[in-house]
Chain A
Amino acid sequence: MRYAMAIDTKKCVGCSDCVVACQVENNVPIGHCRDWVIEATSGTYPDLSMEFRTERCNHCTDAPCVRCCPTEASHIVDGGIVLVDANECIGCKACIESCPYDARYIHPEGHVDKCTFCIHRVEKGENPACVSVCPTKCMYFGDTDDPNSEISQLLRKRKWKTLIPEAGTKPNIYYLT
């Protein structure tokens, strides 16, 4: 089992509903966020193109945050979800330094926090909060090890990219382009 997310950049309008849903669902402390929206403009005026991307922890297969954690607080569970155990985290911040996506932050209680792919919902067979609220239905969540899952079919049909694959972390958030 390999959980992953695919985001259709052609359908995303950058409304930030996913950000708000995550904050409410996961009780994310005010002033912090586990996911965010990026607006990337490329080209030279007047030939410009714009892309919206909702970003979060990439739940990397070769997660550098898990590798550098001195206490095993950062760990990978079944399905490849990268989690932080608050009771094992000492707040050394090595994982924050190791993440090329800057997807982690220090929770006001002291431990490090990040996207969990809403594991508490996924375990019940539901989608992560961000995916389920998306008004344009541009986000897909599923098992890429299952060739018949919707996400696997999309990744076969559509062109996609991952962010900074050259960092070698094998990210699991795909952007359909």
Chain B
Amino acid sequence: MIEEIIVSGRMNPEIDPYLHVWGWEIPFYLFIGGLVAGILFFSALYTIRGKENEYPSAVKIAPMFTPILLGLGLSALLLDLSHKLYFWQLYTNIRWESPMSWGAWTLMIIYPLTIVWSALWVKDVFPKWNWRYQWLEETIETIRQYKRQMAWILMVLSIILGMYTGILLSAFNARPFWNTAILGPLFLTSGLSAGAALIMLLSKTTKEKHLFARIDLMLIGTELFLIIHLFMGLLAGTQVHIEAAKLFLGGEFTNSFWIFVVFGGLIFPATLEILELRKIKIPHYISAILVLFGSLALRFIVVDAGQASRWLY
């Protein structure tokens, strides 16, 4: 049966003819959320393992960026709201069924923690730093004694943050491309990979660079595996899921996804990292920047493609 549908009388802005209520703000925030989750995860992990001095970029330097990054991400989220003055309503409710509510509360807890966590390391990164107030210095020193415990909390929260950026989308049954449980682990892995890439960029020692290149390689491998599963799952689904997969297999997102995300953001940087680990001289920042760019492109393409996929009736 061929069915042609003509809609008359509906031309709601940003809904028709193609849904596009979420622009650049949401994918930008999802990228930042993942990146911050990655940085915090590795910083917490190597604090717990007592390797603060061995891997200083991961444990001490990278977290310095997290309050600024999260600030940028939250600004993007605020810009996205169309009823901005009511944003505080997020914090008058806890809605267990709403991933958006989960995210708002996770950020509420994690944002101040990133400030405290980076404050713990300020003196290691900037030796001449002066807190000016004695009480502030004492408070930070007191918290420092509990940094292991805090690292455990941060590690759990960073996984929730990284995972929720994907679950936010996968909870929407109405958009078949998003409606797959793979998005949570895929975005978490991509966020960890972006975090590892940023640490590689900041790192000054070969030992640390190589460790994170190896970690990043494993994460890229996992991501490729998850991407294959994403399409296997969609292609084994109902007609609408098959249509959603086709957007990437010949449809409008084919070139951008396979060139910028899979090749440019995963396979190519992974190849460079392998060559680098085999002692072939390649500037490490090339692969790190490509991974970060691929991670950003993944969010943009997934958010757009989800809105382009729909139920047929």
Contacts and interface: CB of A to CB of B under 8 A. Distances in A.
B82 A71 contact: no
Residue of B2, B104, B311, B313 with most chain A CB atoms under a 10 A cut-off: B313
Nearest to A73: B89
Interface stretch (A4-12, A33-41, A119-127, A137-145): A33-41
Contacts of B93: 70-72
A36 B11 CA distance: 9
Interface of A is mostly: loop
Nearest to A87: B86
Interface string A74-105: 00000000000011111111101111101011
Interface in B16-36: 16, 19, 21-22
B99 interface: yes
B141 interface: no
A118 B21 CA distance: 26
Contacts of B95: 69-72
Interface string A6-41: 000000001010010000000000011101111111
A16 B174 contact: no
A44 interface: yes
Interface in B88-105: 89-90, 92-93, 95, 97-101, 104
A87 B86 CA distance: 7
A93 B21 contact: yes
Contacts of B306: 97
A38 B4 CA distance: 10
B98 A70 contact: yes
A89 B8 contact: no
Interface residue tally of chain B, by bracket? Answer: 35 or more
Contacts of A71: 86, 89-90, 92-93, 95, 101
A164 B13 contact: no
Contacts of B98: 67-70, 94
B13 A32 contact: yes
Interface of B is mostly: loop
B3 A167 contact: no
Interface in A43-74: 43-44, 64, 67-73
Given A71-B90, A97-B22, A43 B1 contact: yes
Contacts of A110: 82-84
Residue of A64, A71, A104, A167 with most chain B CB atoms under a 10 A cut-off: A71
A70 B3 contact: no
B6 interface: yes
Given A37-B8, A42-B1, A89-B86, A68 B172 contact: yes
A86 to B, nearest CB: 8
A102 B8 contact: no
A135 interface: no
B9 A19 contact: yes
A168 interface: yes
Contacts of A64: 172-174
A102 B84 contact: no
Contacts of A39: 5-8
A19 B86 CA distance: 30
A111 interface: yes
Given A68-B99, A72-B95, A36 B8 contact: yes
B109 interface: no
25 contacts: A35-B9, A36-B10, A37-B7, A38-B6, A39-B7, A39-B8, A41-B4, A68-B97, A68-B171, A68-B172, A69-B95, A70-B93, A72-B93, A87-B86, A89-B89, A90-B90, A93-B22, A96-B19, A97-B307, A98-B171, A99-B174, A100-B311, A102-B15, A112-B82, A167-B174
A-B pairs with the 3 shortest C-beta distances? Answer: A91-B82, A36-B10, A91-B83
Interface of B: 1-16, 19, 21-22, 80-84, 86-87, 89-90, 92-93, 95, 97-101, 104, 171-175, 238, 306-307, 310-311, 313
